[in-house]
Amino acid sequence: MPDEHLTNVFEELNRLSFRRQQLIDKRNILTMLIQFKQNNGQNEQQYSRETEELTEIDEQLKALTQQKLELENLQERSGGSHLIDTTVSSPDSPPPFPAPQVILDVELLPRSSAQTQCPFCHQYITTDVTTKAGSATYIVCLISILFCCIAGCCAIPFCVDGCKDVVHKCPKCRSHIKTCKKL
């Protein structure tokens, strides 16, 4: 029975924390709205409703904080400190696959898509990879022409990605990161 009571207290604490975060987010949005209206030259009467709503949110936050303190005291008196972090469980063993490798030096990017930090927008991304005809493609084409390649077979290197250069781009800012040349 005490464990069930502690579980109920813990669930109520989680619910209060969630509601508190919602109110904080709403308060931040209202504050930005008021600042926007002030910057656009509106007088205080035009955003008085938002100001009243901010006051109500502050009162609700104070009440939720008081409830949270009461529940935490009740939880401590009941000896339920072990329930504080039950939602986060540590795994017994590491996952069976390795963690993805993030390549920070863009000069070491392979010819395939890779995880890296974009040097332009500084976001951690998986690069978009495209291929384009490079010097190796043209050299293979010229060699096939020299060896009497007929019926347009000299154009085959332009269809094979293995002969082309690989271009890494950031999927977020679309900046060119690196070109891996075949030669």
Indicate the domain borders of the chain: 2-83, 102-180
pLDDT of residue 178: 94
pLDDT of residue 127: 95
> For 90, what's the count of Cα atoms within 13 Å in the CB-facing half-sphere?
2
- Output the pLDDT for position 82: 47
Q: What is the pTM of this model?
A: 0.47
Distance, in Å, from the CA atom of 93 to the CA atom of 104, rounded to the nearest integer, reads: 28
| Interval 105-149: pLDDT, tens | 889 999 999 999 999 998 999 999 999 999 999 998 888 888 877
Per-residue pLDDT, 85: 43
Query: Could you give the 3-state DSSP secondary structure of residue 171?
Result: coil
Which pair of structure tokens corresponds to residue 129?
């990879």
Contact 101, 112 (CB under 8 A): no
How confident is the model over 163-183, as pLDDT tens digits?
Answer: 999 999 999 999 999 999 988
Query: How many percent of the chain have pLDDT more than 70?
Result: 85
Q: Are 125 and 115 in contact (CB under 8 A)?
A: yes
